[in-house]
Amino acid sequence: MDKEFWTEAVGFISKDENLNKAHIRYLEARLYEDAREASRYELTNTQVPSRSQISEADESEMEEFIEYVKLLVGAIGFKPFESLRPDIIDSDESSQVFSLQAARGAKAKGMRKTDGFMVMSGSELATDTVPSFPKGFATLRDQLIDEALVIELDGKSILNEDYLFSSPSAAAAVIMGRSANGLLEWKLSNGQTLKEIEKV
């Protein structure tokens, strides 16, 4: 299949070749649903796959297959089916929610993730940027606005959904509209910086 924008691809087969077309359609639909719900990546499907009708026994077997797919995809470093924010944040994880507050209206909450730094929906970006704002971060900020991931509401620039930045500093810079050291800017409720936490 010719996909010029692909740089990597992951495929799965059955070891005993027992997957028929109905099974494959079911797997495609289910994995699409889970990837869409996770909202970690943009899906470029031109059509939404629909589930095929299969027997209860086959459905149970396919669901088990899906769990293996997710396990293996995660093990090789891809996380299309893993939600940025768990449905239930336990006490240990909620204690690791960092906050940032700065001039020009910047106010945000975020969490350290294994593959970056997630800023939570509802966070507020600075109303403008400084003249020395790095071009790369300015481009990313504009992209978030263009894609309606950042919306204007009551004179504030609001992050419309959870967003995974490549690093704490990238997250802090885009939120604050200036260069920033994310290890120092992101703090727990007790005042500890991310840098202090990572030293422990």
pLDDT per position as a tens digit, 54-93: 888 888 888 888 888 888 887 787 878 877 665 444 444 4
Tens digits of per-residue pLDDT, 129-156? 999 999 999 999 999 999 899 999 988 9
User: Which residues lie closer than 8 Å to 59 by C-beta, 6 or more apart?
Assistant: 26
pLDDT level of residue 94 (50, 70, 90 thresholds):
very low
What residue has token string 């995809």?
73
Q: What is the DSSP letter of 112?
A: E
Please tell me the pTM assigned to this model: 0.62
